A and B are shown apart, each in its own frame.
Chain A
Amino acid sequence: MIQAPDLPIWAAIVVGLLLLAGSTITLIGTFGLLRLKTFYERVHAPTLGTTLGAGLILAASILCFTVLYSRPVIHEILIGIVVTLTTPVTLMLLARAAIYRDRTEGTSPVPPDALTKDRDQ
């Protein structure tokens, strides 16, 4: 078993910086959940963690294990692909649920649904 102390100093510094940058971006995203005011604004904030945040952390992982094992370790790319493909599905479902609720309640200013508008006429 290869341990983290075997990592050369240059790699340790780069891996550390990448991890720190990735987690900072993710933290800013979660912070946005608190700070932004409406539901539709808040939905934008966590995308920071799923794009650049996840990307930097995965890059740190790739570099760390590639150097430790002295061969390319790149299966982290799969995590990136799966996260990129699945996050929009969740976000869209949330947005659709929210806009359906707002249209039914009619309290917040959201654009009306073109289909129901036609039916009403």
Chain B
Amino acid sequence: MKRLLPFPLLALALLVMWILLTGFSPGHVLLGGVVAVLISRTMLSLRPDAAGYRPGLAVIRLAGMVCADILRSNIAVARIVLFRRTDRKSGFLHLPTGLRNPHALAVLAVIITATPGTLWVQHDARRHVILIHVLDLVDEEEWIRLIKDRYERLLMEIFE
């Protein structure tokens, strides 16, 4: 089983995607299954590190939190664009991170960049510092606390 399906989650995701795109019928489930098994095996040549991913409640909580934060940031950034405030200043932020797992860092990068108002610029893998650009940088400490409390703790629970 392990030899045939080295990445079962990836194969399942591909199968679900195939069914969503083509519609549910026995023929398409069979064809999608063959495609999912073959394509997920091509990942073998990339030799990714094991993600060490632990599914659980933390994943759902993180997803919900990110959705809520994206909604809030959308409104905040739209407000900044529409009503120019004179006291707003943007700037760079150095975030010391406790995350070491590359997969967890990748997820954090996607979260931070997908949220309007914050942008992941650089990760220093030696000092473990992330450089982030923030559109509305009121209090640097508060942003650091926010990212650490909301995302980092949950990501550690999921990946490490």
Interface residues of A (CB under 8 A from B): 25, 28-29, 31-32, 35-36, 38, 40-41, 43-45, 47-48, 50-52, 74-75, 77-78, 84-85, 87-88, 91-92, 95-96, 99, 110-111, 113-115
Contact = CB atoms under 8 A, between A and B. Distances in A.
Contacts of A74: 20
A29 B81 contact: yes
Please classify the interface of chain A as helix (H, G, I), strand (E, B), loop, or mixed, using the class held by over half of its residues. helix
Given A29-B81, A45-B77, A74-B20, A88 B129 contact: no
A94 to B, nearest CB: 9
A25 B78 contact: yes
A35 B78 contact: no
Interface string B84-101: 100000101010000000
Interface of B: 17, 20-21, 70-71, 74, 77-78, 80-82, 84, 90, 92, 94, 109-110, 113-122, 124, 126-127, 129, 131, 133, 135
**The 4 A-B residue pairs with the shortest CB-CB distance in the complex, in nearest-first order:** A88-B113, A32-B81, A52-B74, A47-B116
B81 A28 contact: yes
B119 A43 contact: yes
A62 B82 CA distance: 29
Contacts of A52: 70-71, 74
